[in-house]
Each structure stands twice: as C-alpha cells, then as structure tokens.
Structure 1
Amino acid sequence: MGWIAIRMLTGDRVKFIGILFGVAFSTLLITQQLTIFVNLLLRGAAAVHEISTADVWVMDQAGRTSDVTLPLPATALDRVRSVPGVAWAAPLIRSGAAVRTPEGDLEPVTVIGVDDASLIGLPRTMLEGHRDALADPDAVFIDDVGSRKLFANGGAVGTRLELNDQRAVIRGIVDATPTFTGTVILYTRYSNALNYLPGTRNRLSFVLVRAAPGITPQALAARIGRETGFRARTSDEFADDGLNYIIENTGIPINFGITVALGFIVGVAIVGLTFTLFIRDNIKQFGALKAIGVTNNKIRLMVVAQSGLVGLIGYGFGLMLTVGFILGGTSNSDTFKGFYIPWQIPLIAAASVIVMLLLTGVLALRAVLNTEPAEVFR
C-alpha cells in the first residue's frame, strides 16, 4: 500500500513539487534565521571566549559586559593579586577610540591594552607579524576583519595611523572573532593604551585572574568579590552576561522569533493547502481502495507514507540550502566570520517539520476517512 500511496503522490507533479517547496522553504527559513540569531548572540561573548586563559573577570560593580563597564582604579590590580587562591592577575583596558587612516578617513575602533609582560589578552593566532613586535614603540596589532575593512587592498602592516591624535604603527594582524559591535579592534600594550585613550582618574577596565590549583573559579570569584568589593564573574558567567544583555536590551530576539514563526506558519499554509487539494483530487481513488476492502488504518498509513516522503525530501533540501548559505557567507563575507550551525538547530527544524506535517495530515485524513466507498461509482 505504501508503494501505491507514493505513486498517487508523485503522479501529480505540480502538487508534489508544491508540497516539497512548502516544507523546504519552511526548513530554510527556520534553520537560517535561528543560525544567524544564535551566532549573533555568541558574538556578545566573543571577547570573553577570546581570552581562554582567564578563569575570572573582575570589574566595577556596575559592569555588565565586556563593552559595558566602568573603569577600576589602578590599585585594583594589587588588591586582586593579594586575594588567596589567585595564581596570577593581569590588567586589561578595553575602550573606544577613533583613528584617522592615511587616506584621511575617520573610523571608530576598540582599543585593547594587554599586559606588557605576559601579553595576556592578545589573540592566540598571528596572521602576520610576530607577538614580540608589540614591544616596539607605538606598536599596535589589528584584527583581520578590521584590516580588510580599513585596507581593502592589503598592506596594513607597517601603516601609520593617527589614534586619538597620537602616532600608532600597525606591526601585525591577529585572528580575532568579531564582537557584537563589529568595530575594528586594535591591540597594544597596557602602557601604550594609557597614552592612546583619553585620560580619566580610573583607567583599568578589567582584571583577568587565573585560579590557583585546588580552587574552583566559582569559589575564587566569590572570594574576590567578598574581599575586594568588586564584581567578579567566572568566564562562563561573564560570557552568559554578554548573551543576556543582548537579549534584554535589543529587539533581536523578537525580530528573529517573528521571522521563525512566520516561516512555520507559511509552511503550514502551503503544505496544508496543497496537500488538501491533492486529497480532494484523489478522493475517488481513496474511495475505490475502501470499496475493495482497504481499512481506515491502512489509509492512515498511506497518508503517513506520503507525509514522510515529502517531509524527508523537503527537510533535506531546505537544510542543504541553509548549509550552502552559511558556507557561502563565511567564505565570502566578514559579516559571517565564525558562523556555524549548532547541532540543536537542525533538530528544532525537524521537530517543526514533523508538527507541520501532523497538522496538515490530520486535516487531510478527515476528508479521506469520511469518504464513502460508493463515492467511486458516482
């Protein structure tokens, strides 16, 4: 009976293609939008994940994310280092500035000042140049995305910039994950960052801490907060703070949620309408099957076989289009750098397709099960 059901479905190619299109389009929209949404959220935690050696981030009590914080006094570094259980602590400056390129263009940038001695806070991978070059006078490193943005024709290394009315020379290019703000990132030594950034009483953005052996980051963060009065968060907690800040303070979740919901609704509408028309056009064939003794349970299995076929093909085609879109985006555009499809998203899309087919299948079955065998003789 399954073979007969498939032959009935594929016999009307227009409706068969229409049902496949509805499932594929819905799958594409759901997986694509969820993938973009998740990766945008993850960029809110990119700055934290970039520094994998730090177990705890210490900041002002008003600090919320890597981009939303208040500077600490310079004495905060020594206070944190004096807390028992701290293996090492390093300073980090992270602040906005503006650079003027040799062409005279003005570009907003994020300046990150890393520890002079250990260079903790610098990305692990150098694409051009050497880490030791950051010790040169006025040396800065630029992230690869920012390099292509400011210097489309290449040749960034060795270029002189005007950073807040001071001289800065690009000595290397680092492989850094873009952040949610998407600004150009310049890395320099902590001592240089103090000169590049506007002077205020407090300059230190964060203290990066490594827990000593035998103490957990959670216990150390609680101890630092208790003994210093600063806000201390483990790396995982601070990364989650960045995600939650985007969710709570932007319209991104609502906009993407509406798009995903519309994809599901449109898929149900297309598949339901086309499947209903298919059943109506084949009502006499179903009546003939019932006239020769085919039971309602076998009729149900036939509709399940038809739904399963279009669901499998349509879902696979929609997922393939999503993979092609993401791979094409990451290969040709810096906007999609680092984007990937989490394994949970195809499962969510598969569940949505199953629900969609169940809804449309139930509606179609009502007409079939109510068909009288005598219908074929009218």
Structure 2
Amino acid sequence: MNWIAIRMLTGDRQKFFGLIFGIAFSTLLICQQMTILVNLVQRGANAVYNEYTADVWVMDPVTRTPEVNYAMPSTALEAVRSVPGVEWAVPHLRSSAAVRSSDGDLEGVAIVGVDDTTLLGLPHKMLIGDASVLAEPDAVLIDDVGAGRMFGRGVNPVGERLELNDRRAIIRGVVDATPTFTSQVFLYTRYSRALGFVPGTRNRMSFVLARAAPGVTPEELALRITRQTGWKARTRDQFADDGIAFVIENTGIPFNFGITVMLGFIVGVAIVGLTFSLFIRDNIRQFGALKAIGVTNRKLAGMVGTQAAVVGSVGYAFGILGSVLFIYWFEQAGPNFKGFYSPWQIPIICLIPVVLILGLSGWFGLRSVLNTEPASVFR
C-alpha cells in the first residue's frame, strides 16, 4: 500500500514539487534564521574567547562584559597576585577611541592593552608579522576584520600610520580574531603604550587576567579572589556567558528573529497545507476506490502518513542543505560572517516545526479521506 501511496504522490509532479518546495523553503528560513541568531548572540562571548590564556577575569563589580566595563585602580593587580592559588596575574586594558588614518578618515576603534613583558592578552594566532613587533616604538597590531574595514579587503595594512589621541601609532602586524558583537576595529598594543592612546582618567585598568596554579580549579580561584579582594571574579566560561546574556537581555535580536521563525512556520503551514489538500481532493476518487475494495481506514491513514513522510524527508534535506550552503557562502564572501557555523542542534530543532507542518497538513487531508464514501467512486 505504501508503494501505491508513493506512486499517487509522484504521479502529480506539479503538486509533488510544490509540497517539496514548501517544506524546503520553511526549513531553510527557520534553520538559517536560527543559525544567524545563535552566531550573533555568541559574538557576545568572542571578546573573552579571543583571549585564550587566562582562567579568571577580575573586574569591578559593576562590569558586565569586556565592552561594558568600569576601570579599576592599579592596586587591584597586586591584590589579585597576593591571593593563594594565583599562578600569575597581568593587567588588561580595553577602551574605545577614535583613530584618524593617514588619509584623514575617522574610525571608532577598541584599544586593547596587553601585558608589557609577557604579551598575555593577545589572540592566539598572527596572520601577518609576529607579536614581538610590539617592542618597536608606536607599534600596534590590528585584527584582520578591522583591517579589511579600514583599508579594504586584500590590502596589507602593515606600515600604515594612525593618529590616536594626538599620538602616532604604526600598524606592525595583523592578528586573527573572531569579530565581537559590536564589530569594532581592534588595535592591540602594550599596556603602557595603550595608556597613552586612551583619554586620561584616574583609574584606567579594565581587568586583571589571572591563571590558576596547578591543583586549583578556576571556579575555586574566582571565589578566593572575590572573598579576599572584594573584586568581581569570573571564570573564562562564566564571563563569556555573561556577554551572551547581556546581548539577549539588552537587544531585540532574539524577539525579531523569533518573529521571522514564526513567519516561516506559518508560510510552511499555508503552502504545504493548501497544496496537500488540493492533492487529496484530486485523488479522492482513488482513495474511495481503495475503500470500496476493502482497504481499512487505518491503512489509508498509513498511506497519507507515508506521503507526508516522503515529502517531508526530501524537503527537509533540501532545506538543511540550503541553509548550510548559505552560511558557508556568506562566511567565505565577506568578513561580516567570519566565524559563523551551523550548530548540530539546529537541524534537530528545525525538525520539530517541519513535523508540525506535516502533521497539521496531513491531518486535514486525512479527514477528507476518512469521510469519503466508497460508493462515491461509482457515481
């Protein structure tokens, strides 16, 4: 009976392809929007994950994210170093500034000051140059996405001169950093030099980065630092989660993307439901003939379920493939999608609305089949 159901389904190619298109379009829209939502929200944690060496971030109690921070006094550094279980602790500065390029353009940037001696706080990978160039006078490093935004894609920015707070800065290298939620241009330099690039205030140290000694967990060290110093201490993963929560709580992104996902579901129900109803109506005489020769309602329901499963499987596969190709193409086409990926959980989540769409469409179609009188085929 299932073979007969499939032959009935593929016999009307126009409606068959219409059903596949409806499922594929809904799956593509829902999966693609959910993927972009997840990646955008996760960018709230990228500033933390770009710094890969520290186990614990120490900050002022009112600080919420690497971008939304309140400066601490320099004495906090020694206070953190005095806590038992701290292997090392270094200062870290993050501040916004306006930079003027050599051709006169003005650009908002984020200044990141890393430890003068160890250079702890830099991203892991260098694309052009070496981290040791920061020992040169006025040297700064720029992130690859920011370099493309300021100077154009494919242009080597090494040697470009910038003006920061009436001071000269020379780009000596390019680092590989995942863009953050704010998508600012990042300039990395030594901590002492960064103090001259940002406006002078009484307190300018944004964070203290610390590493737990062997035998001490980051969670335990964070609790020790908070109890002994009074400063807020968060592990690397905890602070990354804080950045994600800040994006969710203070932007309308989840709500707006949720509306788009709901629209994809509604469009899927409308297209698939209408097309499936037309398919059942056009084949109602065949279903009536099957009932006339003794096919039970249970087997007829199985036939309709088989048709829905075939359409759903093919349409779902095309939709997932289209979503993956969309993310891959845009990730390759420009820096705005750098680091985007499709989490394995999203296709599973997208399967739920597809099943609901097919269930609703199949239910309405099945009602017509079950209510069909066998004698109608002979009229």
TM-score (structure 2 length as normaliser): 0.98
Structure 2 partner of 1:75: 75
SS of the residue corresponding to residue 170 of structure 1 reads: strand
What stretches of structure 1 of length at least 5 have no aligned partner? none
**Equivalence map 1:123-202=2 (5 Å):** 123-152=123-152, 154-202=155-203
String of CA shifts for 1:182-218, please: whole Å, max 9, x gaps: 0100000001001111000001000011111111111
Structure 2 partner of 1:242: 243
Q: 1:224, 1:190 → 2: CA distance?
A: 23
Q: 1:35, 1:170 → 2: CA distance?
A: 35
Structure 1 partner of 2:212: 211
Letter in 2 for 1:205: S
SS of the residue corresponding to residue 84 of structure 1 reads: coil
Q: 1:314, 1:83 → 2: CA distance?
A: 59
Structure 1 partner of 2:84: 84
- The answer as to 2:103 corresponding to 1:99 is no
Greater than 2 Å deviation, 4+ residue runs: none
Q: 1:331, 1:25 → 2: CA distance?
A: 23
Letter in 2 for 1:6: I
**Residue 163 of structure 1, CA deviation:** 1.3
**Residue 51 of structure 1, CA deviation:** 1.5
String of CA shifts for 1:6-50, please: whole Å, max 9, x gaps: 111111112111111110011001110000000001110001111
Q: Structure 1 stretch 208-217 or stretch 251-260: which is displaced more?
A: 208-217
Residue pair 2:33, 2:261 contacting (<8 A) in 1 also = yes
What's the % identity of the aligned pairs?
A: 65
**Residue 363 of structure 1, CA deviation:** 1.3
Letter in 2 for 1:99: V
What stretches of structure 2 of length at least 5 have no aligned partner? none
Letter in 2 for 1:85: G
Please, what is the CA RMSD of the aligned residues? 0.8
Structure 2 partner of 1:118: 118
Structure 2 partner of 1:351: 352
Letter in 1 for 2:94: R
SS of the residue corresponding to residue 112 of structure 2 reads: strand
SS of the residue corresponding to residue 137 of structure 1 reads: coil
Q: 1:264, 1:40 → 2: CA distance?
A: 22
SS of the residue corresponding to residue 117 of structure 2 reads: coil
- The answer as to 2:330 corresponding to 1:329 is yes
Q: 2:365, 2:62 → 1: CA distance?
A: 58
SS of the residue corresponding to residue 127 of structure 2 reads: strand
TM-score (structure 1 length as normaliser): 0.99
Structure 2 partner of 1:376: 377
Q: 2:241, 2:376 → 1: CA distance?
A: 62
- The answer as to 2:279 corresponding to 1:283 is no
String of CA shifts for 1:272-325, please: whole Å, max 9, x gaps: 111011111111110001111111111111111101111011011111111111
Residue pair 2:52, 2:124 contacting (<8 A) in 1 also = no
Letter in 2 for 1:74: S
- The answer as to 2:258 corresponding to 1:257 is yes
Q: 2:126, 2:338 → 1: CA distance?
A: 17
Q: Structure 1 stretch 337-346 or stretch 294-303: which is displaced more?
A: 294-303
Letter in 2 for 1:156: P
SS of the residue corresponding to residue 202 of structure 2 reads: coil
Structure 1 partner of 2:21: 21
String of CA shifts for 1:324-343, please: whole Å, max 9, x gaps: 11111010111100000000
Letter in 2 for 1:24: A
Q: 2:124, 2:346 → 1: CA distance?
A: 29
Structure 1 partner of 2:312: 311
Q: 2:86, 2:353 → 1: CA distance?
A: 48
Q: How many residues align?
A: 378
SS of the residue corresponding to residue 330 of structure 2 reads: helix
Q: 1:275, 1:164 → 2: CA distance?
A: 66
Structure 2 partner of 1:364: 365
